[in-house]
Each structure stands twice: as C-alpha cells, then as structure tokens.
Chain A
Amino acid sequence: MSIIRRLLQCIGAYKKDALLAPLFMVGEVVLEVVIPFLMASLIDIGIDGGQPAYIWRMGAVLTVCAAGALVCGVLSGSFAASASAGFARNLRREMFSNIQTFSFTLLDKFTAASLVTRLTSDVTNVQVAFQMLLRLAVRSPLMLALAFAMAFHVQPTVALFFLAVVPVLALGIWFIMGHVHPIFVRVFATYDRLNKTVQENVRGIRVVKSFVREAYEREKFNSVSASIFTDFTRAEKRMAFTMPLMQFCMYACMLLIAWVGARLIVGGEMSAGQLMSMFTYAMQILFSLMMLSMVFVMMIISRASAERITEVLLAETDLTSGPDGATVVPDGAIVFRGVDFGYGGRSGKMCLTGIDLSVAAGETVGILGGTGSGKTSLIQLIPRLCDATAGTVEVGGRDVRAYDLTALRNAVTTVPQKNELFSGTIRENLRWGSEQASEAEMIRACRLAQADAFVRALPAGYDTQLEQGGANLSGGQKQRLCIARALLKQPKILILDDATSAVDMRTDAALRRALREELPAMTRLIIAQRVDSVRDADKIVVLDGGRVQAVGTHAELLQTCRIYQEVCHSQRKGGDFDETEL
C-alpha cells in the first residue's frame, strides 16, 4: 500500500528509535512474564515451605528483575516518545516543504484551512497511533503469543477454542472498521469546515461586529460543530462495539472451556490444576486482546488522517521548472503570443482570450481596464504564478516554462493588490526581498519607494514590530513597504498591480520618477485605476472583457480608443485628491 510506504519513509533518522522502542519492550514483556513465575515459587517454596533463606534469595533475584524491567520499560517509553515525535516532525516538515511547491490551483483545491488541519490535527492523530503501535503492537501480540503457547503446552484440545475465537474477532473488527472508516473520512472534512469557519470569523471580525452578526456566526459555527458531534458520535458509537465484542469472545471461550474441561476432567484427560491455569491464560489473552482493540481503534481513527496526510505528500504541482531550466534571465523583454487563460483550465470560462503583446526591455507599460477585465490574470502569467491555458508567454526571448522557476521569479517581481506583510519587524519584512541586503541598500530601496521618511518617523524605525498583516500601518504605508521589498530583489521586471492605490498622487509620481531615473533598465508594468499613473508610460494597454482592446501611447489612445477616452473623461473633472504622505 503506497500510503503506508510513503508514511514510513518519513520516519527517516528516527528509524533507530522506532526499532529500539519495541526491542526494549520485548525485554520488558519477557521480564514481566518471568516475574510472576518467580513470585509463585517464592510463595510456594519460601513462605508455604517456611524457608526464610529462600525468601531472601528470591527477593534479591526479583529485585534485579524488577530493576531490569524498569530500565527496559523506561528506555522503551523514551524511544517510543522520540520516535513518534520525530516521525510527526518529519511528516509536518515534508508536508510543509511540498506545500511550498504547490501552484495556486492546488492551494485553492486544498484550501488553507484544510492544510492547517492536515498539518496539525491529522499529524497528531498519526503520531498518537504510531506511538501506540510502537508500544502496544509489540506488547499485546507478544503477551498473546506467550499465553497461547502456554495454553497449548498445557492442553492442546482446549487451547484450540482460543484459536476458534480469532476468526470471529477478526471478522468483527473488519466489519466495524468498514463501517466506521467512511464516517471518519467525513469527520475530518468537517474539521476543515470548522477551521475555515473560525478562520473567516477571526479574519473578518470587523465585518462581523460592524453588522452585528455575532449571533448569525454563532449559528453557523454551531451547525458545523453539531455535524462534527453527530458524525463523531456515530463513528465512535460503532467503535464502542470493539471492547464488548472482545469480551463476548473471551467469555464465550471461558464458558466453553468450563463445559468441555469438566467433561475432560471427568473423563480423566485433564487435571483440575490444568483447568485453573487455562483460565489464567484466558484472562491474559483477554487483557492482551483488549489492548489490541485500543490499538485498532486508534488505527481506525488515524487511517483517515493518514490518507489526508499522504494526499498532501503525494500531490504533485502542475507548475514545475522546465528540465534543465535556464537560470539566467537575459533581460526584461516580455512577449505574449496568442495567450488564452482560464482558472478552470481548458473547459472552464476564459478570463483572457487571444492576447498578443510585446514589451521591450526597460519599457514602462501601463495596463488599464475595468473591474474584472483580466488585468491581474494577465500579469500572473509572467512570473508563472499560473500557466497560460493556450499560447506562450516569453520573458527575455524565452518561453517562461523553459526557465528555472526560482530564476524566473527572482527576475520578475509583482507587487500585488492585496498587501501581505508578515509578523515581524519592518526590517525582517524587507529582508524578504534580499537576505543579504546591506543597510544602505535597504534604505535606498525605501527611498525609491518613498517609504524611508515614514519608517524613520516610527518610534522604532526599521525595527518597528508589525502586527499581523501590518495592522498597525495605514494602507498607503503598507503599499510602499511592499514596493520597497520588491525593489530589494533587483528584478528585471517589476509589476505593480494597483500597488499604489492608497498612495497619494504626488508620492506616486515621485515613485515613478525615481524608478525611471534610477532603474532605467528595469521593465515596469503598472496596473492602475488612475490615468495619471500611466499617462507617461511608453505604451498603455487597454483591457476589456479579457481581450486587448487597444495599445498605444496616451496621445494615440486619446484619439483612437473610446474606452480610454471614457476613462480619461471620468477622471478629468475629479481625479484624485492628494493626500500628502508623511
């Protein structure tokens, strides 16, 4: 089974611990079996026989055995702990690594909330099951085997009854598992929903509170938690049959032994003492089976989790670097040839159709278009955040798919609409652009992005701690930090996706001027709502309904393009009110 094989690979360096844990467990079990024998003889010979010297001698032996069992037990427990925790660590690590290669399509398919559950709750389930497996999966069968062996040794005919029980049990457990597993698959999908509901609520709490929707959200949450309750209860109630099933088998066994044993004794084929020890073994077997049933229960629960984990481990991204992908992007020229694009692939609705466009290195290109006209989709194709459904996109004279992904994305940097800054200081966030950036480079990037002044004005300057998503900065400040972060990468192509929407006009203009004068070789693609932001571009692309409507300079478009005229008209009277930034 590939699931198990893939999971076992993750044990990795903890293989030693995973082997030592059951090994020491064997030692512990053997000693545990020996100790009662020694105790029995201590009573029989030492106490009933009235031999104090024997008591002392046996006492010493027993103490040594107990110490040995203690050491074995402690070591086994320790190794089981480190093996299972290490296994969980490796699972999380490999999942997280693989997620880093996911394309957006794949991320959307899994959803963030579900990935979070898989990396934590599901891994915990598997970790617990694994630890149990290491400890009990050896202990119980070993105990079981020893008890069986002893039973056969004492009275083979009667011992056969024990064996008759095994298929009944196996069938019973198989039946329970078959009924419970599908419910657990559903339960964990509901866990994802639970996580998502909490996540949306927490992220959108301002909306919830503004609209006084606390009660509505509560209802929404309660319905999710109710379905977890229903499913979990249903699954576990079925699993609750395991223990009584075991008891049924063993009790039936004991009664049979009593009945048959009596006849055997009367027939003179067995002694009363032998019957007594058969019962002792029956009890031991029962106890081991009960332990095993706990293992089975854990296995049932964790099977669904294990499947969800392997789904993440085995998911292959459809966006990979080309074989021997080029690692050097020669320049910032961009060409689109007959590009179609849709998020749903060939069958879905197209967001872009028949895009032909070429941009020379070092050019400034403005992209204008209505809400939902496909601007963001268009620029996502350049750093291969998504792949074109049809046609080709070229950067530096080469198909983007022929590049090494890292090299391509290092050369093409996008500053998206939605600013994402991370918890940490401003300096740490800027370092995303370049790990080795010197202080001077960082300040220069911030100066170009018109961010240096306000950063310096903050109480702790570049070391100011950002709250989640930069909640303690204003929209315009966040945008300028994002641009500075992008500049630190020294890209060949810089794409500003409405990245200055909250920045005032004057600062915006200063920013564009700084970029043009200081970084002339860098190709700049600017998506903007304001005509003013793109007016001085070398060319302006007007998008509408996923098609290129017109390409030209400001002056040309004013003459020829109706949409462009309308856009200019809409802004002529008003335009933007200048906030002057700090």
Chain B
Amino acid sequence: MTKPNSERGKPDRPRLNPQTALRLLRYVGRYRLLLTAVFLCIIISAVANVAGSSFIETLIDDHITPLLLVPEPDFSGLARAVGFMALIYAAGIGAALFYNRAMVTITQGILKKIRDDMFAHMQTLPVRFFDTHAFGDIMSRYTNDTDTLRQMISQSVPQAFASAITIVAVTCAMLLINLPLTLLVFACVGLMLLVVRQVGGRSARHFMAQQKMLGEVNGFIEEMINGQKIVKIFCHEEQTKAAFDEKNDGLARQATSANRFANILMPIMANIGNLQYVLIAMLGGALAVAGVGGVTLGAIGAFLSLSRSFAQPIGQISMQINAVIMALAGAERIFQILDEEPEADAGTVTLTPAPGAEKTGAQDWVWQCPGPEGVASVPVRGQVEFAEVNFAYTAGHPVLHDISLYAKPGQKIAFVGATGAGKTTITNLLNRFYEITDGAIRLDGVDIREIRKSDLRRSLGVVLQDTHLFTGTVRENIRYGRLEATDAEVEAAARLANADDFIRRLPDGYETVIDGDGASLSQGQRQLLSIARAAVLSPPVMILDEATSSIDTRTELIVQKGMDSLMEGRTVFVIAHRLSTVQNAKAIMVMEKGRVTERGGHESLLAERGRYYELYHSRENADLSTPPD
C-alpha cells in the first residue's frame, strides 16, 4: 500500500501538518489550571535562579566589603542575607519539584487520554479498515507513536516556556541599550530560524518516515511471529530474516538521517550565537570608535553579555526540537486513526424489550421505529428479506448479483456452493460489516440501514469459521456473548454446545485462563467455545458460517442435538459443506459466482435434477471404495 519514503524523499514527501501541533495543544489545554500552576512555578524557579545571580553580585559590595572596614566584623548581617537567600532557593527548589511532578501528571494524563480516544475511535471503524491495515502497524500507534509525545510534553513544553521568558526579558533589556545592535541580533535570530526551518524540516521528514517504517517493522514482526509455525515448517527462517533486515535497514536509515539533522541543529545554533557575539563586538567597536549613535564602550560590554544570555535559551530550545519534531511525526499517525471515517450509522430504529416481557428470551423484544406518526412497535420475530441485493468490495468488481431471498421467522436457510461463491459475503452484509451497493435487506420488514447498528448486531448471533477467543478465563470467553449471563447460564450454554465435558477436564475447569487466542486448545475445542458464546446470547437470528468444520463428526452428532435446540424458533443462516447440517434446511440456496442459481428444499432440489443434484451425487463418484454397509 504505502511505500516507505525513499532516501531522497522524492516520491512522497511527508510534510508536517501545522494542524497537528494545534490539535496536540488542544489535548494539553485540558490541563489549563494545572498548567497555569506549572508556569507560575517555572517563573518562581527562574526568579529564584536570577535572584541567586544578583545576590552574588551584591554579596561582595553589600555584605563583605563593609566587613573589611571594621576591626571586629559582625557576621550577623551576612547570616541574615544568606538565610534569606536560602529561603528563596528553598522556594525555587519547591517550585521545581512541584512543576516537575505536575508535568508528569499532565504528560501521562494526555498520553492516556490519547490512547483511550484512539481505542474508542477504533472501535467505531468499519471492518474494512481492519481488513486493509497491518495489525502490527495499528498496534505501533498505541506504543511507539504515543511514546514520542512523552518527552515532548514533559520536557519540551516547560523548557520552551522558561526559555521564552528569558528571551522576552533579554530582548527588552537589549532594546533599552541600543537599537542598531539589537537589529543585528535580530538578523542573527532570523538566520537561526532559517536554519531551523531547513534542517528541522529535513529532520521532520525523516522522523515521519521513521515512524512509518517503525510501524511497518512492527507489522512485519507481528505477522511473522504469529505465523511462526509456518516459518518453521518451511525452514523459512533465513528468508524471513532477510526480509526483516530489509525493513530494519530502511528504519535505521531513516532514524540515522532524522537524528543526524536533529543533532547538528544545536552546534549550528550555538555557533551562530558565537558568531553574533563577534559581529557585535566588531560593529560596536567600530561604532564606538567612529562615535556614531552615542555608543559607549560600557554599553557594548553590557550588550555583549546580554547577547550571550540571549543565545543560551535559543540553544536550549533547539535541543528540544528533536523531541518536538519526533512527537509531531508520531502525533500525525495518531490523528490519522482519529480521522478515519467511522462506520456510518444513521439508524434510528432501536431494540427494546417488549412491554411486560422478561428481559431474557429473544422473542420478547420489539423494534421501536420512530416515524412521522410517532413511534411504531414491530415485534422482533426474525424475518429476513433480501431484495435484489448487489454488492462489490471494490467498485467495479461486483461479488453478489441480484440476491433475493425471504426467510420466515424460525426458518433455516442454508447456503451451499463453491468457496468464493459469495456465501460469507451475504452474512457480512446482513450484520452490516460491509454496506450493500444496491437493493435492500429487511429484518422484520425494517430496512437494516434504518436500525441502529448495535441493535441490529445484538439481534444476530454469529459463529464464524475463524474463531477468535480473548485472553481471559473460559467462563469470560463464553460470557462474551451476554455479559449479564449468570454462571449457570454460561454452563448451560456450554452444555448445549457440548463444550462442558472438555472444559471440566481442563486444569481449572471454567476458570482456566486462555492465553494468546487459545493456542493451547484444539481448533475443534475453540469452535465449541464460540458456539457456546453465541448460544449464551440467544438471539432471534443466527448466522453459522462453517461453525462446525473442525469438530469431528462424532462430537458433531452430539453437538447437533444442542445445535437443533439452539436453532429452534430462530431464523438461521447456515453455511456448511456437511450434508447433515444442510439437508434439513427449509430452503437451500445454491450459489455460483455471486448468484443464487437454484433454491428450494432438499427433496425438491434433488427432483429438479440440476446443479444441486449433480453436487449431491458427485459424492459417490468421488468415492473409490464402496460405502460401509
């Protein structure tokens, strides 16, 4: 998809968006009050520091020299002065401690807020986003990119503020002494800014490329470690390493360039400062000798020391630029996620418990449809209708053509056909993982686009071929279907799915912790758990997409009874290649290349002697030995 920035940065030159800094500031703005206190403390700490310098200047004149004149020196005056200074220093240290600690709270609070916002927003993104982004690259934004903000907020912000104070104070002082010389200083500052723009800009580009490469590396590692079994089976370690090296080298190249430009900024700035010093001395000397503009030698001396204190904060700021640029590069990637368009959900129809009905039992729910004449209640029955549905994942490449079907409440509809014929796509459309291009899908007569997405999905139970379990106990994984389910209900669902037996044989039974997508469970066991998870939800409509493909037939026979009771009274869409699962369906849809080519009951389809018949009987052709009995 996105290609890494090439060495010369020609093909796509990432540029920092000034908006990024503003958006970041908005996060900082949440801590307005604390930040004000921080700035106050910075000022106190700076004042203490300045007071220290001026104390030293006056120390000798006011407190030491007078003592030299008296025969019996009385040190109490000096003691008072030192004591007073100690108090000021104590205040300074206290202020420094406070603002350093407060900045920690602010920084970590912002990082937490950004992570939480990002995750919350990610939950609203369409499935397509996840299908098209590398998982590891998404993960990188929560760690590597968010981390870049840490140093910037905790150190750069307070330091920039402290430096700004100094710069303002010094500028005022300089203007009071001499205007032409001040202009010379400004010219040098202009030069410094130019350098920052040039070098900093280059650094920024490479930092952005670095964060992007870091994301790619993260993605690669994530994919390869999860596929480590395949890597081992194919002895692909060396090739994997080579591919990794390539990405790793790219990252190192960008990191080197980014840091190089950032690192050279400080010496350049410092020495422009030195150069400025020399220029002032020469120009001031010349002016003084020529007697132009009333420049005195004393004024030049004072001006020179001021210009030193002017260059120092600028140098300090430029030291932080590195952190700032990197943070902006990271922030840009974070905002990319936050700017992703969420799933469209214009639905207003909601799912509510039918009046008087107990909360359990799916049939006791109603759709609340707000219309011009007030809210109409439609009972949830599980009637599904597809009306001339067309769909394409990418525009111009239609996957489904004119799909029309009607499922009465409680009916079982089976989809059969070649893999890739579009069966799974149909289920993706029903729960609106993807939006249909054309036509309509109606649930209990309500267009599903008018139903609030969360309510639509709550009414559909799904068991997918690719089971996904989460880190947690077995019980928590089943309860995922309905969070308020009691322990007894969880176990009942497990029994229904015939998972109870094996769960009880696990070391800690229902409390056994599943880690890393249940790698310690067999594929079949995971499918049983995901069936139990759907069973505990008890929805009016169920979608079973190859839900039992990895369960052995003997177990399936046992599960079947449970499945039958699970399906009873519900509308069920089932995708399976096992005849036993399909045969007793009310209607069987034979799909081919995105179209329904045949439909009907098992017997009537056989009688039609069409494609279904052919498929059904091909079984015998395929078998080389005679069937048992």
Contact = CB atoms under 8 A, between A and B. Distances in A.
A200 B471 contact: yes
B618 A116 contact: no
A72 interface: yes
Given A46-B285, A119-B217, A248-B93, A371 B555 contact: yes
Contacts of A513: 624
Contacts of A366: none
B274 A62 contact: yes
- Nearest first, the 10 A-B pairs at minimum CB distance are A73-B267, A574-B580, A77-B263, A204-B468, A371-B524, A474-B419, A476-B419, A89-B252, A81-B259, A240-B100
B434 to A, nearest CB: 11
A111 B516 contact: yes
Contact of A212 (B234, B457, B533, B593): B457
A558 B628 CA distance: 8
B468 A576 contact: no
Interface in B371-410: 393, 397
Nearest to A261: B64
A577 B550 contact: no
A272 B56 CA distance: 11
A210 B462 contact: yes
Contacts of A28: 267
A364 to B, nearest CB: 12
A454 B227 CA distance: 24
B142 A56 contact: no
A205 B274 contact: no
A46 B419 contact: no
A580 B618 contact: yes
A69 interface: yes
Interface in A371-412: 371-372, 375-376, 383, 385, 405-406, 409-410
A97 to B, nearest CB: 6
DSSP class of A's interface residues: helix, strand, loop or mixed? helix
A198 B142 contact: yes
Contact of A259 (B78, B138, B525, B615): B78
A194 interface: yes
Interface size class of B (residues with CB under 8 A): 35 or more
A579 B52 contact: no
Contacts of A288: none
A122 to B, nearest CB: 10
Contact of A498 (B85, B138, B154, B550): B550
Interface in B62-106: 63-65, 67-68, 73, 75, 78-79, 82, 85-86, 89, 92-94, 96-97, 100-101, 103-105
A108 interface: yes
DSSP class of B's interface residues: helix, strand, loop or mixed? helix
A502 B548 CA distance: 11
B120 interface: yes
Nearest to B470: A200
Contacts of A535: 623, 625
Contact of A116 (B218, B239, B253, B625): B218
Contacts of A65: 274
A372 B244 contact: no
Contact of B278 (A52, A66, A531, A570): A66
Contact of A433 (B228, B234, B552): B234
A581 interface: yes
A70 interface: yes
Interface stretch (A2-10, A162-170, A226-234): A226-234
Contacts of B260: 77-78, 81-82
Given A62-B274, A116-B136, A502-B549, A255 B465 contact: no
Contacts of A201: 119, 122-123
27 contacts: A52-B285, A73-B268, A73-B270, A77-B264, A80-B259, A82-B260, A93-B245, A100-B240, A112-B516, A124-B147, A195-B143, A198-B139, A211-B457, A221-B116, A228-B112, A247-B89, A251-B52, A372-B502, A376-B523, A405-B235, A468-B134, A502-B419, A502-B465, A503-B419, A506-B618, A571-B553, A581-B420
Nearest to B56: A279
A492 to B, nearest CB: 14
Given A93-B241, A120-B140, A120-B143, 14 more contacts: A43-B281, A47-B284, A100-B231, A199-B222, A208-B123, A210-B431, A218-B123, A236-B154, A275-B60, A372-B525, A468-B135, A502-B577, A568-B628, A578-B619
A276 B60 contact: yes
Contacts of B127: 205-206, 209
B624 A509 contact: yes
Contact of B554 (A80, A85, A485, A570): A570
A88 interface: yes
A58 B279 CA distance: 11
B433 A209 contact: yes
Interface stretch (B29-37, B177-185, B297-305): B297-305
Interface residues of A, number: 191
B225 A112 contact: yes
Contacts of B618: 505-506, 578, 580
A414 interface: yes
A214 B277 CA distance: 61
Interface in B400-430: 416-421, 424
Interface in A516-560: 529-532, 535-536, 554, 558
| Interface-centre pick from B127, B234, B244, B465 (highest chain A CB count, 10 A) | B234
B473 interface: no
Contact of A120 (B144, B416, B524): B144
A104 B229 contact: yes
A349 B556 CA distance: 26
B555 A206 contact: no
A204 B107 CA distance: 31
Contacts, number: 531
A471 B133 CA distance: 12
A30 interface: no
A340 interface: no
Nearest to B120: A218
A225 B418 contact: no
Nearest to B265: A77
A236 to B, nearest CB: 4
Interface in B263-290: 263-264, 266-268, 270-271, 274-275, 277-278, 281-282, 284-286, 288-289
A473 interface: yes
Given A96-B241, A207-B464, A409 B233 contact: yes
Nearest to B459: A212
A468 B530 CA distance: 22
B97 A371 contact: no
A99 B225 contact: yes
B547 interface: no
A117 B140 CA distance: 9
B458 interface: yes
Contacts of B457: 209-212
B229 A422 contact: no
B41 to A, nearest CB: 11
A459 interface: yes
B259 A131 contact: yes
Contacts of A505: 618-619, 622
Interface in A215-273: 216-218, 221-222, 225-226, 228-229, 232-233, 236-237, 240-241, 243-244, 247-248, 251, 254-255, 258-259, 261-263, 265-266, 272
Nearest to A67: B271
A567 B557 CA distance: 9
B59 interface: yes
Given A112-B226, A233-B104, A199 B420 contact: no
A107 interface: yes
B552 A209 contact: no
Contacts of A217: 119, 123
A81 B263 contact: yes
B360 interface: no
A505 B546 CA distance: 15
Interface string B578-596: 1111110000000001000
Given A73-B266, A78-B263, A120-B218, A233 B105 contact: yes
